[in-house]
């Protein structure tokens, strides 16, 4: 026995657990109509994987669960177990006994399968019974309906039975699976081909665009590298040129100032000279008047003297010796007077010359010391001017030494959220610049940003450009710091406490928080001694700065001293103001010294001129003195001829004596003439000096004009260069996001002329490329990869398709072979079976279309004893059943089945045929197991054991083993009742 046991519970009418144990090969199931016999067949089919609700005679799968009856409630679960003896290993597992269970839950609709109590899938069960003959379309379970359907079926519809018998059903199933797979594959292939065609359409234009974009990027990269170098070179050249122009402009400015000063000095000098000339003219005029008057007086006196001398000459010729002696004496006295007078004047002049020389020497010494003082003052002035210009530059560009800070400020427009540098944001009150600088320390150069993101961005910029490091203060995270209230009160009463650093620092309202954070807990004290005292009282809790910038740090350490050039951006302006003030004082001092130098120089010139004049007069007088002496000597010799013994008395001449008066007049005339001559000469010198100066002023003005024009040209050129510089710097920062210093480090060592040409050439090449799709390379890559992938997939699919086609061909071949072999075998058995059951005659199966073994229908020609050959359809119902049963038995002979379930297949046969049928079944005993549902005693008589199905309780089937006679009685009774 193959099937050892069936256990049913909740399945259809088997509400309670029912077990049928099979202990012999031919088992009969008997019972009245509707008692549930066929439900047993259904149960077996259901366990073996039946999915067709119709085959199970229901409308839905849940119809297999017991629905309840008048006395019983429905149940929620149906469960059926088949237990097989697998000692012959007909089932494809290693176990000797196989238990197959199917369960269905009403509410969830969930089905469960088990093999030997282990949960499994439906597929596992189908695989288990495949090729055993227990499959869905097999001959294992044949009902009366099957028999009549076989007889009445079209030839093609009969194939299934033969295919199942030939074991080709699995191939057909696989083939159908393969065909649907093939179908899906072909659909996929068609879709793939569509996509590939579409991709092919895209790939070539994209390839061209990608190539273009790559060329563009290469050229752009090359252009950028070269252009950065060209820009750097341009900026360097522009910087040099601007510096040169600045120097030139500075020189022009200095020259202009010099010219202007010279013109101004010359103008002043000219004015002075003109005033002097006017004064001299007036004096000369006056002297001329005096000279003319003196001259007239002298002419009158001279005339009188000539008359007197004539008289004397006459008297001397005709006078006596005594009279001659007297006259000569008078003349001698006069000559002596003249000599003495001239000699005195000569001596006076000599003294004056010595004095003038002394004076000149002193003036020269004074002038030299004045010039020295002036040079020193000019040097100091120069130094101050230099410092002023340095300070002005520092005020203009205070972060020249903080590269990172400068880099950030230069790129401020391209960076977001940069608010400035601490030292620019805070303005210390006057006189607190040094203290606040000390209070801030290094924080003075920190950069204030809107938030942390801005600071991160700026740090990224510094990294990219390798522009150094800087500290950033994001406003959003700055926490205010303050002095404790009690400390503040305490400090206010201490000597030297000036306040908190925030009190002396102005800023915009936005930065109040920042101010509190940096300066809110820093104290300002007047000096270091008081700072120490305050620190002590406040227990060294605060940083204290003094007005001089010394620091008592929190904790007590002290920092102080003085650096040369210890300027901070905050003290610069103050120092600049101080320098400007000193400069003003120094300029006044210097100008004063210059004036003094000019005055001394003029005085020196005047003394020198007068000295020369005196020296000339001195030389002239020397001759006159000698002439007067000689005249006196002659007169004395003449006089001694007439009065040799008489001594000359040293009587002086009377004041109104003609000679005395004439001498005085001559002396005065000489004096006036000399003064006049000196003044005329001075006048002439001044005049020519004025002319010379005017000519030089004219020349200076012309030069100044030229200078101004040249300076204007230089300024214009400088402005042009500065605009170009700004544009280049802007391009460097906005296009390349580079600082100049970083770009400089990237500069190529190449011929710049060639580089410029290359830039132009690259620009032209880039513009000739036209529109560029920068996404093209990645799109091309993506499309190409997709294209290649899909092409590959297509090839794989094609290969798989051809493999499936090969497999199908192979399966077809197997099916044809196996089908044909089984068909022939069944056909060869049929005649014998027919003859046995019909008691003679013959029967033959034939293929409707032998050329198409795979699809051909199967028909049967039959010739019962004494009748002609006819097709199966032409026979009576009973005959048809018997013929069908013949085919069935032929199949069983050709292919052994381990289990056959016949459900009233013999119902249409007459008594004699039932007996033949039943006996024929008995022949298979030992090879196949039969479960026969029957109402016919003939069949029952051939069974080894009989089970009766009853419905003691309405609607609930029950099983019990019965004897043959009981079974016959049992049926008869029921049939009578019915
Ligand atoms: N889900 C179900 N719950 C309860 N009873 C059911 C269910 N499904 C079918 N039945 C009952 O099973 C009986 C039909 O059983 P079955 O067809 O096996 O009878 P049978 O013994 O083969 O009759 P016959 O000799 O006339 O062929 C009917 O009475 C039907 O009401």
Q: What is the pLDDT of residues 63-76, one digit of tens each?
A: 999 999 888 899 99
The mean pLDDT value for 533-539 works out to: 93
The sign of the dihedral angle between the CA atoms of 393, 398, 403, 404 is negative
Which phi and psi angles does 472 have, rounded to 5°?
-115, 140
- Is residue 265 scored above 90 in pLDDT? no
- Pocket around ligand 1 at a 6 A CB cut-off: 12-13, 31, 33-39, 63, 66-67, 955
CA of 876 to the centre of ligand 1 (A): 29
- Residue with CA closest to ligand 1 atom 14: 34
CA of 34 to the centre of ligand 1 (A): 5
- Could you identify the atom of ligand 1 that is nearest to the CA of residue 74? 3
Q: Are 165 and 890 in contact (CB under 8 A)?
A: no
Q: Which of 12, 53, 935 to mutate to test the pocket of ligand 1 (most atoms within 8 A of CB)?
A: 12
Question: How crowded is residue 46: how many other Cβ atoms within 10 Å of its Cβ?
Answer: 24
Share of the chain above pLDDT 70, in %: 97
- Could you identify the atom of ligand 1 that is nearest to the CA of residue 65? 1
Q: Which of 16, 20, 31, 37 to mutate to test the pocket of ligand 1 (most atoms within 8 A of CB)?
A: 37
SS3 899: strand
- Residue with CA closest to ligand 1 atom 5: 13
* pLDDT score for 975: 47
The mean pLDDT value for 519-523 works out to: 95
Binding residues for ATP: 32-39
CA of 496 to the centre of ligand 1 (A): 118
- Could you identify the atom of ligand 1 that is nearest to the CA of residue 949? 21
CA of 35 to the centre of ligand 1 (A): 6
- Residue with CA closest to ligand 1 atom 19: 34
* pLDDT score for 331: 83
CA of 39 to the centre of ligand 1 (A): 6
For residues 603 and 600, give the distance between their C-alpha atoms in angstroms, rounded to a whole number: 5
- pLDDT one-digit tens code per residue, 717-726: 999 999 888 8
Tell me the CA end-to-end span of the chain in Å, nearest whole number: 35
Q: Residue 978: pLDDT band by 50, 70, 90 thresholds?
A: very low
CA of 36 to the centre of ligand 1 (A): 4
- Is residue 775 scored above 80 in pLDDT? yes
Q: Which of 30, 39, 61, 72 to mutate to test the pocket of ligand 1 (most atoms within 8 A of CB)?
A: 39
For residues 137 and 891, give the distance between their C-alpha atoms in angstroms, rounded to a whole number: 14
Q: Residue 575: pLDDT band by 50, 70, 90 thresholds?
A: confident
Residues contacting 772, CB < 8 A, separation 6+: 212, 213, 216
Q: Parse the chain into domains and list their residue ranges.
A: 1-138+906-978, 399-568
Which phi and psi angles does 718 have, rounded to 5°?
-65, -45
* pLDDT score for 279: 92
- pLDDT one-digit tens code per residue, 92-108: 888 999 999 999 999 99
CA of 898 to the centre of ligand 1 (A): 27
Q: Are strands 118-120 and 141-143 parallel, antiparallel or unpaired?
A: unpaired
Q: Mean of the per-residue pLDDT values for the chain?
A: 88
Q: Are 639 and 632 in contact (CB under 8 A)?
A: no
- Residue with CA closest to ligand 1 atom 8: 12
The mean pLDDT value for 147-169 works out to: 83
The mean pLDDT value for 579-598 works out to: 90
Q: Which residue has the tokens 């009989």?
A: 946
Q: Are 323 and 315 in contact (CB under 8 A)?
A: yes
CA of 71 to the centre of ligand 1 (A): 16
- Could you identify the atom of ligand 1 that is nearest to the CA of residue 35? 21
For domain 1-138+906-978, the CATH architecture is: 3-Layer(aba) Sandwich (3.40)
* pLDDT score for 639: 84
- Could you identify the atom of ligand 1 that is nearest to the CA of residue 904? 27
CA of 354 to the centre of ligand 1 (A): 173
- Residue with CA closest to ligand 1 atom 2: 12
- Residue with CA closest to ligand 1 atom 4: 13
* pLDDT score for 216: 92
- Residue with CA closest to ligand 1 atom 31: 955
- Residue with CA closest to ligand 1 atom 25: 33
- Is residue 383 scored above 60 in pLDDT? yes
Q: Which of 8, 31, 34, 977 to mutate to test the pocket of ligand 1 (most atoms within 8 A of CB)?
A: 34
CA of 320 to the centre of ligand 1 (A): 220
Residue 101: is it exposed, middle or buried by C-beta count within 10 angstroms (0-12/13-18/19+)?
Answer: buried
Q: In DSSP terms, which residues pair with 710 in a beta bridge?
A: none
- Residue with CA closest to ligand 1 atom 24: 33
Q: Which of 8, 14, 36, 902 to mutate to test the pocket of ligand 1 (most atoms within 8 A of CB)?
A: 36
What region, left, alpha or beta, does residue 843 occupy, with left being phi > 0 and alpha being psi -120 to 50 degrees? beta
- Is residue 973 scored above 60 in pLDDT? no
* pLDDT score for 977: 43
Give the DSSP letter string of 250-292.
HHHHHHHHHHHHHHHHHHHHHHHHHHHHHHHHHHHHHHHHHHH
For residues 368 and 355, give the distance between their C-alpha atoms in angstroms, rounded to a whole number: 20
Burial pattern 113-124, b for ≥16 Cβ within 10 A else e, equals bbbeeeebeeeb
Q: Which of 55, 68, 955, 970 to mutate to test the pocket of ligand 1 (most atoms within 8 A of CB)?
A: 955
Q: Residue 533: pLDDT band by 50, 70, 90 thresholds?
A: very high
* pLDDT score for 671: 81
Q: Are 889 and 165 in contact (CB under 8 A)?
A: no
- Could you identify the atom of ligand 1 that is nearest to the CA of residue 935? 25
CA of 160 to the centre of ligand 1 (A): 28
- Could you identify the atom of ligand 1 that is nearest to the CA of residue 951? 29
- Residue with CA closest to ligand 1 atom 20: 34
Residue 699 DSSP class: H
Give the DSSP letter string of 539-584.
TT-SEEEETTS-EE-TTS-EE----TT---TTTHHHHHHHHHHHHH
* pLDDT score for 566: 65
CA of 79 to the centre of ligand 1 (A): 17
- Could you identify the atom of ligand 1 that is nearest to the CA of residue 41? 18
Burial pattern 52-78, b for ≥16 Cβ within 10 A else e, equals eeeebeeeebbebbbbeeeeeeebebb
The mean pLDDT value for 321-350 works out to: 86
CA of 38 to the centre of ligand 1 (A): 7
- Could you identify the atom of ligand 1 that is nearest to the CA of residue 933? 22
- Could you identify the atom of ligand 1 that is nearest to the CA of residue 58? 8
* pLDDT score for 135: 66
Q: Are 100 and 79 in contact (CB under 8 A)?
A: no
CA of 17 to the centre of ligand 1 (A): 16
Give the DSSP letter string of 716-777.
HHHHHHHHHHHHHHHHHHHHH---HHHHHHT---S-HHHHHHHHHHHHHHHHHT-S--TTHH
- Residue with CA closest to ligand 1 atom 29: 34
The mean pLDDT value for 200-205 works out to: 87
Q: Which of 8, 9, 13 to mutate to test the pocket of ligand 1 (most atoms within 8 A of CB)?
A: 13
ipTM: 0.97
Residue 151: is it exposed, middle or buried by C-beta count within 10 angstroms (0-12/13-18/19+)?
Answer: buried
- Is residue 963 scored above 80 in pLDDT? no
- Could you identify the atom of ligand 1 that is nearest to the CA of residue 39? 18
CATH 3.30.70.1620 fits 399-568, yes or no: yes
862, two tokens: 């039959």
pTM: 0.47
- Residue with CA closest to ligand 1 atom 27: 33
**Alpha carbon distances (Å) from 805 to 175, 579, 802, 813:** 10, 104, 5, 12
Binding residues: 32-39
CA of 920 to the centre of ligand 1 (A): 29
């Amino acid at each position: 026995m193959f099937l050892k046991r069936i256990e049913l519970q909740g399945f259809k009418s088997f509400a309670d657990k029912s077990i049928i144990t099979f202990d012999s090969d031919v088992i009969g199931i008997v019972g009245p109509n509707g008692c549930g016999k066929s439900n047993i067949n259904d149960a077996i089919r259901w366990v073996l994987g039946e999915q067709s609700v119709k085959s199970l005679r229901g409308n839905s799968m849940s119809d297999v669960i017991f629905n309840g009856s008048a006395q019983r409630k429905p149940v929620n679960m149906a469960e059926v177990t088949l237990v097989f003896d697998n000692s012959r290993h007909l089932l494809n597992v290693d176990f000797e006994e196989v238990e197959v269970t199917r369960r269905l839950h009403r509410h969830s609709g969930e089905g469960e399968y088990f093999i030997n109590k282990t949960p499994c899938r439906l597929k596992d069960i189908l695989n288990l019974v495949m090729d055993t003959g227990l499959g869905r379309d097999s001959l294992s379970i044949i009902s009366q309906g099957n028999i009549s359907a076989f007889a009445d079926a079209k030839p093609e519809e009969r194939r299934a039975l033969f295919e199942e018998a030939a074991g080709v059903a699995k191939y057909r199933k696989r083939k159908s699976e393969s065909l649907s797979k093939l179908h899906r594959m072909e659909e996929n292939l068609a879709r793939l081909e569509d996509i590939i065609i579409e991709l092919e359409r895209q790939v070539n234009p994209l390839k061209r665009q990608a190539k273009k974009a790559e060329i563009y990027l290469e050229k752009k990269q090359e252009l950028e590298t070269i252009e950065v170098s060209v820009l750097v070179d341009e900026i360097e050249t522009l910087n040099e040129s601007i510096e040169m122009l600045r120097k030139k402009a500075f020189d022009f400015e200095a020259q202009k100032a010099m010219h202007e000063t010279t013109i101004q000095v010359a103008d002043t000098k000219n004015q002075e000279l003109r005033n002097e000339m006017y004064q001299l003219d007036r004096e000369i005029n006056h002297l001329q008047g005096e000279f003319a008057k003196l001259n007239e007086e002298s002419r009158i006196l001279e005339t009188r003297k000539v008359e007197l001398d004539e008289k004397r000459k006459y008297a001397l010729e005709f006078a006596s010796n005594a009279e001659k002696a007297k006259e000569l004496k008078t003349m001698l006295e006069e000559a002596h007077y003249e000599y003495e007078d001239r000699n005195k004047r000569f001596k006076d002049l000599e003294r004056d010359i010595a004095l003038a020389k002394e004076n000149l020497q002193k003036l020269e010494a004074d002038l030299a010391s004045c010039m020295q003082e002036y040079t020193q003052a000019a040097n100091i002035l120069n130094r101050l001017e230099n410092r002023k210009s340095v300070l002005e530059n520092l005020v203009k560009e205070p972060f020249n030494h903080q590269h990172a800070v400068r880099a950030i400020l230069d790129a401020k427009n391209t960076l977001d959220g940069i608010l400035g540098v601490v030292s620019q944001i805070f303005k210390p009150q006057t006189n607190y610049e040094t203290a606040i600088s000390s209070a801030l320390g290094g924080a003075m150069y920190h950069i204030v940003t809107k938030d942390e993101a801005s600071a991160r961005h700026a740090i990224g910029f510094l990294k990219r450009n390798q522009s150094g490091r800087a500290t950033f203060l994001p406003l959003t995270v700055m926490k205010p710091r303050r002095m404790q209230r009690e400390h503040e009160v305490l400090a206010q009463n201490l000597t030297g406490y000036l306040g908190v650093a925030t009190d002396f620092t102005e800023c915009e309202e936005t930065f109040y928080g920042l101010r509190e954070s940096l300066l809110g807990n820093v104290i300002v004290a007047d000096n270091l001694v008081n700072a120490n005292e305050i620190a002590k009282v406040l227990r060294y809790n605060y940083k204290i700065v003094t007005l001089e910038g010394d620091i008592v740090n929190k904790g007590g350490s002290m920092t102080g001293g003085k650096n040369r050039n210890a300027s901070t951006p905050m003290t610069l302006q103050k120092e600049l103001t101080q320098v400007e003030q000193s400069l003003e004082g120094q300029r006044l001092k210097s100008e004063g010294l210059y004036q003094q130098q000019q005055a001394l120089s003029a005085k020196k010139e005047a003394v020198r001129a007068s000295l020369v004049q005196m020296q000339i007069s001195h030389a002239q007088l020397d001759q006159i003195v000698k002439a007067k002496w000689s005249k006196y000597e002659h007169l004395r010799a003449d006089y001694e001829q007439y009065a040799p013994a008489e001594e000359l008395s040293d009587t002086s001449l009377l004041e109104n004596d003609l000679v005395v008066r004439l001498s005085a007049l001559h002396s005065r005339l000489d004096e006036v003439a000399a003064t006049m001559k000196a003044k005329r000469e001075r006048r002439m010198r001044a005049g020519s000096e004025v002319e010379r100066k005017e000519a030089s002023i004219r020349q200076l003005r012309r030069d100044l004009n030229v200078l101004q024009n040249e300076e204007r040209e230089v300024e214009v050129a400088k402005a042009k260069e500065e605009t170009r510089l700004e544009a280049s710097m802007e391009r460097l920062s906005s296009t390349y996001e580079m600082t100049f210093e970083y770009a400089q480090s990237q500069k190529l060592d190449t011929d710049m002329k060639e580089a410029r040409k290359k830039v132009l050439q690259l620009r032209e090449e880039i513009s000739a490329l036209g529109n560029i799709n920068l996404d093209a390379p990645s799109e091309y890559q993506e499309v190409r990869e997709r294209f290649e992938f899909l092409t590959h997939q297509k090839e794989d699919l094609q290969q798989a398709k051809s493999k499936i086609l090969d497999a199908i061909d192979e399966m077809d071949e197997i099916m044809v072979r196996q089908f044909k072999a089984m068909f022939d075998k069944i056909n060869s058995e049929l005649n014998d079976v027919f003859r046995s059951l019909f008691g003679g005659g013959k029967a033959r199966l034939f293929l409707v279309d032998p050329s198409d073994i795979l699809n051909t229908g199967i028909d049967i020609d039959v010739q019962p004893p004494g009748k002609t050959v006819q097709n199966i359809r032409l026979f009576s119902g009973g005959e048809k059943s018997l013929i069908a049963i013949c085919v069935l038995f032929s199949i069983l002979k050709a292919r052994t089945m381990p289990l056959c379930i016949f459900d009233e297949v013999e119902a249409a046969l007459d008594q004699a045929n039932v007996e033949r049928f039943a006996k024929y079944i008995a022949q298979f005993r030992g090879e196949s197991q039969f479960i026969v549902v029957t109402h016919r005693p003939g069949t029952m008589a051939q069974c080894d054991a009989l089970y009766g199905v009853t419905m003691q309780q309405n609607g609930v089937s029950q099983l019990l083993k019965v004897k043959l006679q009981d079974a016959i009685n049992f049926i008869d009774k029921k049939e009578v009742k019915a």
